[in-house]
Amino acid sequence: MKDKILEKASKMFMSLGFKSVTMDDIANEMGISKKTIYQHFSNKTELVKETASYLFDEITKGIDEIYRGNKNPIEELFNVKNYISDYFKAGNQSTIYQFQKYYPKIHDTLKKKHLEKLETCINKNINRGIKDGLFRNDIDISIISRIYFYGSSNLKDNDYFPIEKFNPEKVQLEFLEYHIRGIGTSKGIIKLEQLLKNQL
């Protein structure tokens, strides 16, 4: 039952927002009593915490699958961007904003966990790109991977990119192009421009 609650809660939080959805809403949607939910989660904050971890694990599985596909490093970055974009596309645009605003401690903890995971992936991606001649060999990988992480992490921050002014998908694409042009060789830039045409 706990896994079913997490699955349902994750869908509802993603589509309606972490603040907007109540324990009653989840219980009614599942056709169970609120008491049943409280048997597994002592309060909504605990449910949000475990749901956020559940979502993180689901997204991580998808990203790992992409990296196992042995695409070239620039294609990998585009595939990860498209995967994450599609994952959040069905959700309410205010979902991330609500999560950051109303559950900042949980958000910060998850962000650190995300950094550890993504930094490893980006390091491998850049190393392969250098080996394949797509990325410059004179960059500091540890610095670039963190710049990429913190930059990409703030793309969905409503304070920086309010959704009424900025199209989220365009922001992500512009950032990815900015990143690759900054570290790409001439060979890498050619590949980037080919992929950009496919995005249009």
Helix (H/G/I), strand (E/B), else coil: 135: strand
Q: For Cα atoms 6, 10, 11, give the angle at the middle one, nearest 5 degrees.
A: 125
Cα separation, 99 vs 13, in Å, equals 9
Tell me how far apart the alpha carbons of residues 149 and 80 are, in angstroms, rounded to a whole number: 13
Predicted confidence (pLDDT) per residue in 149-175, tens digit:
889 888 878 788 888 899 888 999 999
Separation of alpha carbons 81 and 84, rounded Å: 5
Residue 90: is its pLDDT beyond 60? no
Q: Which residue would you say has higher pLDDT here, 198 or 190?
A: 190
Which band of pLDDT confidence, cut at 50, 70 and 90, is reported for residue 88? confident
Q: Specify the pLDDT at position 87.
A: 79
Class of the CATH-defined domain 51-199: mainly alpha
Question: 85-92: long-range contacts (C-beta < 8 A, 24 or more apart)?
Answer: 85/168, 85/169, 85/172, 87/59, 87/62, 88/14, 88/156, 88/168, 90/14, 90/15, 91/14, 91/15, 92/14, 92/15, 92/16, 92/17, 92/20
The structure tokens 């990998």 sit at: 76
pLDDT value, residue 200: 63
Query: For residue range 108-132, what is the model confidence (pLDDT) as tens digits?
Result: 998 888 878 888 899 999 999 999 9
Domain boundaries, the chain: 51-199
93 pLDDT band, cuts 50/70/90, is low
Give the whole-angstrom CA distance, residue 75 versus residue 77: 5
The pTM (predicted TM-score) of the whole model is: 0.85
Query: What does the alpha-carbon distance between residue 98 and residue 20 come to, in Å, rounded to a whole number?
Result: 9
| Per-residue model confidence as pLDDT tens digits over 13-25 | 998 989 999 999 9
Q: Please say if the pLDDT value at position 48 is more than 60.
A: yes
